[in-house]
Every structure is written in C-alpha cells, then in structure tokens.
Copies of this chain bind each other. A is one copy, B any other.
Amino acid sequence: MKNFSFVNPVKIIFGKDTIQQIANEIPQGSKVLMTYGGGSIKKNGVYDQAVKALKNFEWYEFSGIEPNPHYETCMKAVALIKEKGINFILSVGGGSVLDATKFIAAAACFEDGDPWQILSKGAPIKKALLFGDIITLPATGSEMNSGAVITRDETKDKLSFASPLTYPKFSVLDPTATFTLPPRQTGNGIVDAFVHVMEQYLTYNEDDTLMQDHMAEAIVKTLVEEGPKALENPMDYNVRANLMWASTWALNGWISCGVPEDWATHMIGHEITALFGLDHAQTLAIVLPGVMTVLKDQKSKKIQRLGKEVFGIQGENAIPETIKAVESFFEKVSVKTHLSDYGLGEEVIEKVVDRLRNRGWKLGECHNITADTVKEILTLRK
C-alpha cells in the first residue's frame, strides 16, 4: 500500500426534504448567486425549494450552464459576480453546473491574468469564493470533491483542475430530486460512477490494498444491483438513495487512498466528447471495454477480482467474460458501447489519435498508453 494523506471537509446533508437546510449553511448576510443549467430544476420543484430557502438572502441567478460546461459561459457568471459584489455561490443541478461553479468560484478571485490558465497551465488558485450545492444528478461525485472539468468551446479543449479551495462548503443530496431524471441521464450517471471506480481499482497487479479493493467492490456492487432498478422504477426512494450515495463515494477521494490510478478511459473519452459531442458517460461506455481488452495482461489480477467479486465469474475465461459482463451492464442501463451505435466510426479514431499524439500524453497507471495504443483500443470499439 502506498503512503497517502487524506482530508475531505465537505458537509453532506442527505435525504428527503433537506433542501431548506441550506438556509442554515450559507453564511448570514451573504450575497448569493444561484447557478443552474437548462431549467429542469424548474420542472421538478427543486428551484422553488431553493428560492424559498434563500428568502432571507440577497440573491441573483445565472442559468444556461451547459453539459460539459464552457469556459466562455463561466466567464459571463464571473462578470455578474464582480458587478453585483456576490460572495457566495449556490449550485443547483448536476455535476456540470457544479463543476462550472467551482471554476467560477476560483476565476472570480483570480488576479494573475486570464483564469483559463488555471486549466491550461495549472496556475495556482490562491483564493476562491465559498460555494455550496444541491446536487440533482448522481454521477460525477463533484458534490464531495474539489475537482472540475471545463471545456473551452473555441478550441474544444476539455481540461480539469482541483484545489483545496474548491471543495463545496456543503452538498445537499435529496434522492427525490432524481425521480424525474430522463432514463438517459440516469443511465449515464450509473456508468459514470462505475467508471470512476474502475479508474481507481482496475490497475496493475497490486494485491496489497485489500481494504480499498473491498470498498471499491462495495460501490460497484451497489451500482450493479440497484442501477437497472432505477430505470424500471424511477420513483423507488431507496434505490435512488443507494445510487446517489454510491456515486458520491465513487469519487470522493477515499478509494484512491494508497492505490495507483488509471484515468485513461476518461482522458480518451474527454477527447471524443470535445470533438464529437457525445455524452461523457457514452464515451466511457465505449472506451472502458477497449482499455480492459488491450491492457488485459497488465490488469489481469484486478479484472479477475472484479469478475469474481462483482459478477460471480470464475474459471479459465474469466477475463473475457468479465469484460463482456461490464459491457452488458452498460447496455442494461441503456448506454450503448460502440461508436457505430452513435453513428460514428473511423473518423473518431483518426481525430482522437491525432490530438493525443500532438499532446504527447502517455496515459494509464503505468504511463504506457500512447497514441498508438489508443488507436488499438478505439479500433476494437467501432
């Protein structure tokens, strides 16, 4: 087990009818900016509950944050914050709204030139506005971590950052807010959480982190057992609650303690989304089985563990059968797993491989996934 240090200061408020508690969590006298996306929160009642909770605050709103949020959009919110003297942000929505909010919180206090440098050059964040969130889509884990992914529309760069100053002060997780999610978003969220675990679990042949392995498997088992039920019975509270809690755990920093991390699937997927507009989770469902297949020797022990502990697969063909089981699980929660399912093919492989060759990245926990390896991976996923 590797050495590690860990701290996570986020306060979680979990359960039904908990949204009104934000009134006690936002510092008194704050000028608040509520950030949100396309308006689904106005249909499911979450917007009205947030407005009610803000009644004793001076507050403003900024809507229109898109999936895979754009730098350009975030900078408009930064301008509003400066104009109004806002000092607290309340994110209401899914991981995209919250990721945008994290960047806005940092960019509003950035004094060393263009805030894009936070993403492009890892420019240090010295200060950030306080923010909290009501999360309405279990998927990204953003509600309990300090990271965010932002896309520059102009250049199609999709990049990430993290800082000790961009943890939410609080996160409200009300499973009833997920009852009305469209099936596509429910399925996407399950796949996203599943792949988050894989990035921190399905790595080279270490077998000295039994505690973290069992924990990772606990999250994955919950997703595998409950995921399909959420699509069948979208208003089953306990199913939604288990999925919401599992998604938070999948990326709150705990299961990465002391283990190697991969993230190749995410890095390849980000390029596909940036260039071709596929949903984030769709790209993950396409790429992960390819990564598992091409890296099957390096990852053999962990693929076998996954098969045995989560899918009950053992025996000679455990590795290909486990890869197949992962693919079938994605399909079962309505996320397709091949480029052709989305009307795409060779053109994706060429463009993505080109971009990765230009970046010179070597991906994966062993830094051995070159542009050529990515070509091999994506060719399997046509």
Contact = CB atoms under 8 A, between A and B. Distances in A.
Interface string A241-254: 11001100100000
Interface residues of A, number: 43
Among A21, A211, A242, A257, chain B packs the most CB atoms within 10 A around the CB of A211
Given A217-B218, A218-B217, A246 B14 contact: no
Interface string A138-180: 0000000000000000000000000000000000000100000
A1 B1 CA distance: 33
Nearest to A16: B3
B9 A4 contact: no
Interface in A15-38: 15-18, 21
Contacts of A21: 5
A242 B6 contact: no
A2 interface: yes
A217 B217 CA distance: 10
Interface string A351-365: 000000000000000
A242 B208 CA distance: 8
Interface string A305-349: 000000000000000000000000000000000000000000000
Contact of A1 (B9, B212, B219, B242): B242
A209 to B, nearest CB: 7
A226 interface: yes
Among A7, A210, A221, A226, chain B packs the most CB atoms within 10 A around the CB of A210
A298 interface: no
